[in-house]
Amino acid sequence: MADSYEEFEATSLFCPRCRKAVPVRKKLLLVLPTGTKYDYLCAECGAPVGGKVDEDPTEFRRMVPPPRGLPPRARRLPGLRGPGTRAGGREPAP
């Protein structure tokens, strides 16, 4: 999960190494409950030319779903449900 988060933005920023305005790559740096932090890298030489913080917790919620009402051990893992896990319970729907 590294390169897939990089995407080209329409914006151009001044790169001190290239000494000109360059197209930038947006790289996901940090996902916080309060927002998502991005770094802007020069698309030509890769030097960091800026950054920004999205005050949008959507990314965080997507990556870390809140364990609302579920004890940590009851977390269901898809694909790991073997026979006998639900002793005496209902059969899972096919």
Selected from 30, 45, 63, 64, the binder of Zn ion by CB under 5 A is 45
Residue with Cβ nearer Zn ion (15 or 31): 15
- Residue of 45, 3, 54, 55 whose CA lies nearest to 24: 45
Contacts with Zn ion in 7-36 (CB under 5 A)?
15, 17-18
Q: How far apart are CA 22 and CA 13, in angstroms?
A: 6
d(CA 33, CA 53): 12
Which of positions 50-89 make contact with Zn ion (CB under 5 A)?
Answer: none
In the complex, which residues of this chain contact Zn ion (CB under 5 A)?
15, 17-18, 42, 44-45, 47
